[in-house]
Amino acid sequence: MASSMLKTHSFIFFLILFFITVIANRWSDSEIFGKYISISSLGLKRERLSHLHFYFHDVVSGKNATAIRVTAEASLTNRSSPFIFGDVYVVDDPLTIEPGVNSKMVGKAQGSYVVASQGELSLLMVLNFDFTEGKYNGSTLSVLGRNEVLSAAREMPIVGGSGVFRFARGYAQARTHSITQIHAIVEYNVFVFHYC
């Protein structure tokens, strides 16, 4: 009787020890892989809202072109569509402080846009704004959104950023300032939450 109770006790003792060991191991594995940290450990203080204002220059042809059409094309690219559905452009477009292309440059918009609608002239924009001015020098914002270019105001999400824009989220508003066959100038107002 006493001996069987002893056996039961030591069994329970080993069972508890076993679970403690398992949980402790699990804990330390997951601590190595990922854990909660404080915001201040990354040097982040508080969230701020910034407003950036600049002009985007998209030059699609000529000696100074900043947007080039990708000539590779799927056999199904719909040439019969009046909206050049399926066209892909790669851009390195200057961002300037005034509408004039020779005004002070504050960065570049690098990435691509795809004509992604058969029913209207609508683009999928996949861009990084690479800033070169002041406290934003070296920092980027990433844009992923829909741009229906013929409407007066378009809104595109800012999905992230780097440098001073780490953890960024916000939106960009685009309005066409002027447009010719060759050169579109688009006014951008960007509103973005980020830390400082």
When binding is defined by CB under 6 A, the residue of 50, 77, 81, 176 that contacts ligand NAG is 81
Q: Which is nearer to ligand NAG, 10 or 137 (CB)?
A: 137
If the CB atoms of residues 131 and 188 are measured against ligand NAG, the closer one turns out to be 131
CB of 49 vs ligand NAG, minimal distance in Å: 23
- Nearest alpha carbon to residue 13 among 2, 21, 24, 1: 21
The residue from 21, 25, 132, 151 that contacts ligand NAG (CB under 6 A) is 132
Tell me how far, at minimum, the Cβ of 50 lies from ligand NAG, in Å: 17
| DSSP per-residue string spanning the chain | -HHHHHHHHHHHHHHHHHHHHHHHHHHHHHHHH-----GGGGT---EEEEEEEEEEEEE-SSTT--EEE-----TT--TTSTT-TT-EEEEEEEEESSSSTTSPEEEEEEEEEEE--SSS-EEEEEEEEEE-SGGGTT-EEEEEEEEETTSS-EEEEEEEEEGGGTT-EEEEEEEEEEE-SSEEEEEEEEEEEEE-
Which of these ranges, 27-35, 62-70, 90-98, 151-159, lies near ligand NAG under the rule CB under 6 A?
Answer: 62-70
CB of 74 to ligand NAG, least distance (A): 12
133 is a site residue for ligand NAG (CB under 6 A): yes
Closest Cα to residue 127, out of 70, 47, 67? 67
> Which of 21, 25, 61, 64 touches ligand NAG (CB under 6 A)?
64
100 forms part of the interface with ligand NAG (CB under 6 A): no
Q: How far is the CB of 91 from ligand NAG (least distance, A)?
A: 17
d(CA 70, CA 2): 85
63 in contact with ligand NAG (CB under 6 A)? yes
Number of residues that bind ligand NAG (CB under 6 A): 11
Token pair recorded at residue 29: 């594995």
Q: Which of 9, 14, 62, 98 binds ligand NAG (CB under 6 A)?
A: 62
Residues near ligand NAG, by CB under 6 A: 62-64, 78, 80-81, 118, 132-133, 137-138
